[in-house]
Structure 1
């Protein structure tokens, strides 16, 4: 009987591209087969490298354990010092599907002499040029097969999309396993999330609410801002389909309506998408222009007027400071304070005001504006003024295409004119989406009456009050900024006249 000390130490590598069941059964089965292969040849598996749910064909996918295995092969030992003298795999397509990866593996493997290698069919001598060439040729063939399969899948997805049929895969949140019928509870949550977001509520606030209520994704995971953004921005919610960032359209140019039940209207979806596209999570600079993007861990503001208040102190050169005020948290005074940044930080340090009183004044001013607008508002014109222009350009393109198909115009003439027309159509469609988004966003806000806004403004969030993100949306829609002028030295009584809202028209 062979002693364990005389067995050759090898590592097992397993990979699967898609772990649909999320139970790692595929890679576990591969490792089991690899251990049996090793035992047949008097080897022992001392470590298992696993890349579960990782494609080997995509250049953008990094296989962490594959890279770790290459490092260990070059070193001749694992991170804990265990010696390794070979590799066992199920099949070569589990190891590599791109020639470059196969070459890197052989280079690391042959970095040291006298190593062993085997797949389920038997051992192979990777030091032999013929064996290496055959393996490399196999990787090339595998890459070609992958590309053929990807092309077939793309054609299949396109055909299904044009017929309005859903594709396979895990069910999306809001629908049952057939991907056509709505799951009532989830669909209601998703529809409400669309309305809340259009009303100004932040994704983070919705996610926190869902997590507190125990709402999970279709795969049973906790919701995140990223996953909710993906769900809301998907055209599936209104019954449409998107491929490579473009809506799937029929011969008439209109989006193909899917066979599944929608949870929102196309106008609501367009409004959601326009908000995402329009803001892209950027900060607003002093000149009120869109600045740098929010960091990945950006969250809701803690205080109501952060970034909205501006310093109104006059500088020695006669210009206004205009620095966004910082909010300092409550200390001994028991309330927060809005303060201009110091000179070293780019401000003047000359303005500071009690935060709770400023919040109260600005809140009342905005609520009064909402009530005034509510009492004087009349029917709004929802007609997009450039609808006729878009129709004309689309008809020009249709007529040009008809003449080209009938061979009444040359290829050179046709392909010179088409790009310009298509560019104009795309621009006008973008403007139309923004217009519809603006109408939908206003309609979402108008669903809540001014008196209801006032009632919920001061309620705690757990009692139905507005999250701070919704309040900030109402304030942002009413004012460009609020200028805070200096009150002078010493403790003075709060003077609301030193706050100057810059109202939007």
Structure 2
């Protein structure tokens, strides 16, 4: 077979010798309910008989079951940006082998089975024009050697692409209508916390979820929960792999936990602006969900000294400041105790090249003990004040009015009672107000829930093994914003309370 095709008069000239044909056979089915690949198997069987009548030998068969030729996914492009492409591993592997010359002929059931993305068709046209690959289809008329045949193939693929878009649009509309009724949809795996029917709660997993709620609200990081669950051998939904921090975040911020229905990451609301409730059993309350979202994904940035971010090893690391230059200090081992061999930690001001003055170094233990006692006394005083439960959020009616205005404006635009210029200018302001009100509501509900789940006796909890360093950081942050450490009055001077200045938190929480 001639491997150098010649293009002349709008035609690619291929000199095919039947005995030299080495076939690649490709069969595909988009959706196989049973998973037995019956359709793909039948396609390949028919193609074997078809190419035998033409001549040559079969090099390899490429079955691709349950793979769409239309649906696109996000992929990284050579320039480092992201684009959307149809990804079919077996099709791509076959095209690579055809370009390498491993096979010189391709048989498809028809052009519809081969592709529904114009990009794939252009790649196939290049195979014919530049690599001399002989392409045939069992049904239809695939002739990529002539301009007329190429034009017909492009028209056919574009038509199939439009059909797939219409089907996808109808399915999306149907899925959204089902979601508005609170039904379950999508996903090969059940959500963590529910049984296989996705309706009843899995008692064991629900217990794990409920146990971690007060800890997350008290400041424990999702990464810590993931580490602990792995150590305790709590299985994932699939029973494979390890727990990750992002998985924990997704579980505990999922509106499904409180019974709310989402569609494409959006909480669905009814005509009155209330969240649509799913048909499954909720595991937590709505207030708990709002509090978790605010604690894990706050609507406004938390202060850096709240202990969020990377893991810190020492008690006052998020809070300590140098009394000479006001730089953030850091903790580290100063030396090891001669008798016990235990590390002795000190708080240091960084060197001048690292943003500090290197003028203050103090042992951490007495400062930790003093600040801990200050915090425990402060929290005990607050506890004895019998703090009243926060009242419900008082702007609920305002949020409901804004939501109703958005719906009424949208209805008026659809009915062509207002112009697009007026509608989009109005809706932008209304949606901004809605976002701000919802964020304020989440913060308020988070405060209510935090008060409801506060540790009753911080002093009793402080030294318990399961009271993590992150929880201590969060407890300190409720009372203290910063701790300024002043230089020692002379070398070897013992710690005295007047050598540090605590900056008390003025927030109501």
Verify same fold: TM over 0.5. yes
Q: CA deviation at 1:261?
A: 0.6
In structure 2, stretches of 5+ residues that fail to align are 1-18, 75-83, 338-342
Equivalent position to 1:233, from 234, 248, 253: 253
Contact 2:110 2:140 survives alignment (8 Å): no
1:261 maps onto 2:281 in alignment: yes
1:449 maps onto 2:456 in alignment: yes
In the aligned structure 1, how far is the partner of 2:294 from the partner of 2:281? Answer: 23
Q: Deviations over 1:414-463 (max 9, x none)?
A: 8475654454344323322221122113322x2x212xx33332233xxx
After superposition, where does 1:327-476 map in structure 2 within 5 Å?
327-329=331-333, 332=336, 334-390=343-399, 393=402, 411=418, 415=423, 420-444=429-453, 446=454, 448-450=455-457, 453-460=458-465, 465-476=466-477
Partner of 1:3: none
Partner of 2:163: 145
Aligned to 1:104, what secondary structure does the other structure show? helix
Aligned to 1:411, what secondary structure does the other structure show? coil
Relative distance call for 1:424 and 1:494 in structure 2 (3 A) is: same
Aligned to 2:347, what secondary structure does the other structure show? strand
In structure 1, stretches of 5+ residues that fail to align are 1-5, 78-82, 314-320
Partner of 1:493: 494
Q: CA deviation at 1:85?
A: 3.6
Relative distance call for 1:472 and 1:421 in structure 2 (3 A) is: same
Q: Which has the higher mean CA deviation after the structures are superposed, 469-478 or 84-93?
A: 84-93
Q: Deviations over 1:336-380 (max 9, x none)?
A: 333222222222222223334443333332222222211123313
Q: Which has the higher mean CA deviation after the structures are superposed, 380-389 or 176-185?
A: 380-389
Equivalent position to 1:115, from 133, 146, 163: 133
Q: CA deviation at 1:182?
A: 0.9
Relative distance call for 1:431 and 1:35 in structure 2 (3 A) is: same
In the aligned structure 2, how far is the partner of 1:388 from the partner of 1:223? Answer: 41
Aligned length: 463
1:200 maps onto 2:219 in alignment: yes
Partner of 2:313: 302
Partner of 1:318: none
Q: Name which one, 1 or 2, has greater alpha-carbon Rg.
A: 2
Relative distance call for 1:443 and 1:411 in structure 2 (3 A) is: same
Equivalent position to 1:209, from 228, 235, 252: 228
Contact 1:14 1:49 survives alignment (8 Å): yes
Contact 2:70 2:164 survives alignment (8 Å): no
TM-score w.r.t. length of structure 2: 0.75
Partner of 2:178: 160
Contact 1:323 1:347 survives alignment (8 Å): yes
Aligned to 1:253, what secondary structure does the other structure show? coil
Relative distance call for 1:45 and 1:401 in structure 2 (3 A) is: closer
Contact 1:205 1:467 survives alignment (8 Å): no
Contact 1:239 1:258 survives alignment (8 Å): yes
Q: Which has the higher mean CA deviation after the structures are superposed, 55-64 or 160-169?
A: 55-64
Relative distance call for 1:103 and 1:353 in structure 2 (3 A) is: farther
Contact 2:291 2:446 survives alignment (8 Å): yes
